[in-house]
Amino acid sequence: MKRLAPNALLGGFLIGTLIVVALIGAVWTPYDPLQLSFRAKLAAPSAAHWLGTDEFGRDVGSRLMAGAATSAWISLLTVTLAVVFGTAIGVVSGYVRGWFDRIVMAFNDALLAFPGILLALGLLAVLGANKYGIIAALGIAYTPSVARIVRGAVLSLREREFIAASRVMGNSELFTMARHILPNCIAPLTVLATSMFGYVLLAESALSFLGLGVPPPAPTWGNMLAGSRPYIGQAVWLGIFPGLCISLTLLGINLLGDAVRDRLDPRMRGM
């Protein structure tokens, strides 16, 4: 076992912290994140409120913890949705080939022609801006990239001997796909899902920041940042802490992603 690279350690530490904070935030926060307190309005960080309070006197630290839980949960559901549908489309399309593959991939690639969060924005216009709308919109928006990568992996897998062997043994196509193709896609899928978690978290924060995500008063890092804008001159902490949370999470995911790639592809080490 090799020693872990420093970027893996730092990335692992950041993501580990996020997971712990999100898990705790889901069940317990120091204060009720929705409890208004007009006596403690816009209070600077202090012993009672470590990260200060917002314009309604709500504890920023508690809201960040609850927001971590919400954002992590939404990202997890979204990634799962995209991975499940993308894998299904990619495996079937890559394995069956022919006209089916061509039509599916033409649509798939056209959806990839919507840059960034544009497709998610369009879907939100149809689905409505709420927690489930955002999961569905981002899930659908990220499905094509999963499908593309999985199909690529399947195309080379299906030419291998053990797939031919499975067919010769008289296994059905469905069985071959589920038993022999799918398990071999898990390694690239794990790498993909990790980095996608970062993209989705960023997209979710961006949509919440635009007011198209989880509606207030429920806290997410994105809508806390959006809410901080009118008060940023007098209450800097409102704008600093949520952004710091998003950035550190993304940094952790980027560092972990680099570390995983170094390990899987030693030729690219240090890139």
Partner 1 sequence: MLRFALTRILMALPTLLIVAVSVFVLIRLIPGDPAQLMLGDLADPASLADLRGRLGLDKSLPVQFGIWFGNLLHGDLGQSISSQQAVLPLILQRFWISAQIVLVAVLLAVLVAVPAGVIAAWRQNSSLDLGLVGLATLLLSIPTFWLGLLLLLFFGLKLEWLPVVGYVSISEDATRGILYLVMPIMTLFLHEIGVLLRMARASTLEVLRLDYITHARAKGLSEGAVLWRHAFKNAFGPTWTLIGLVLGNLLGGIAVVETVFTIPGLGRLLVDSIFARDYPVIQGCLLFVAFTYVVVNLVIDLCYPIFDPRVTAQ
Which residues fall within 8 angstroms of residue 232, CB to CB, at 6 or more apart? 238, 239
Cα angle 26, 29, 30 (rounded to 5 degrees) comes to: 175
> For residues 238-257, which are near partner 1 according to CB under 8 A?
239, 242-243, 246-248, 250-251, 254-255
Least separation in angstroms between CB 253 and partner 1: 8
Q: How many CB atoms lie within 10 A of CB 126?
A: 9
Closest to partner 1 by CB, 171 vs 195, is: 195
Backbone phi and psi for residue 269, each to the nearest 5 degrees, phi listed first: -55, 135
What is the rounded CA–CA span in Å between residue 40 and residue 162? 67
Q: Which of 152, 211, 215, 217 binds partner 1 (CB under 8 A)?
A: 211
Reported as type and span, the H/E element at residue 208 is: helix 186-209
Interface with partner 1, residue 45, by CB under 8 A: no
Q: How many CB atoms lie within 10 A of CB 156?
A: 10
Interface with partner 1, residue 264, by CB under 8 A: no
What is the rounded CA–CA span in Å between residue 139 and residue 75? 9
* x/- letters, 189..208, toward partner 1 (CB under 8 A): -------------x--xx--
> For residues 103-162, which are near partner 1 according to CB under 8 A?
106-107, 109-111, 113-118, 121-126, 129
Are 49 and 61 in contact, with CB atoms under 8 Å apart? Answer: yes
Q: Which of 180, 228, 237, 259 binds partner 1 (CB under 8 A)?
A: 228
Interface with partner 1, residue 88, by CB under 8 A: no
Residue 174: both structure tokens together = 């469905």
Closest to partner 1 by CB, 108 vs 176, is: 108
Least separation in angstroms between CB 224 and partner 1: 11
Which residues fall within 8 angstroms of residue 209, CB to CB, at 6 or more apart? 222, 223, 225, 226
Interface with partner 1, residue 100, by CB under 8 A: no
- Where does this chain bind partner 1 (CB under 8 A)? 106-107, 109-111, 113-118, 121-126, 129, 202, 205-206, 209-212, 225-226, 228-229, 232-233, 236, 239, 242-243, 246-248, 250-251, 254-255, 258, 268, 270-271
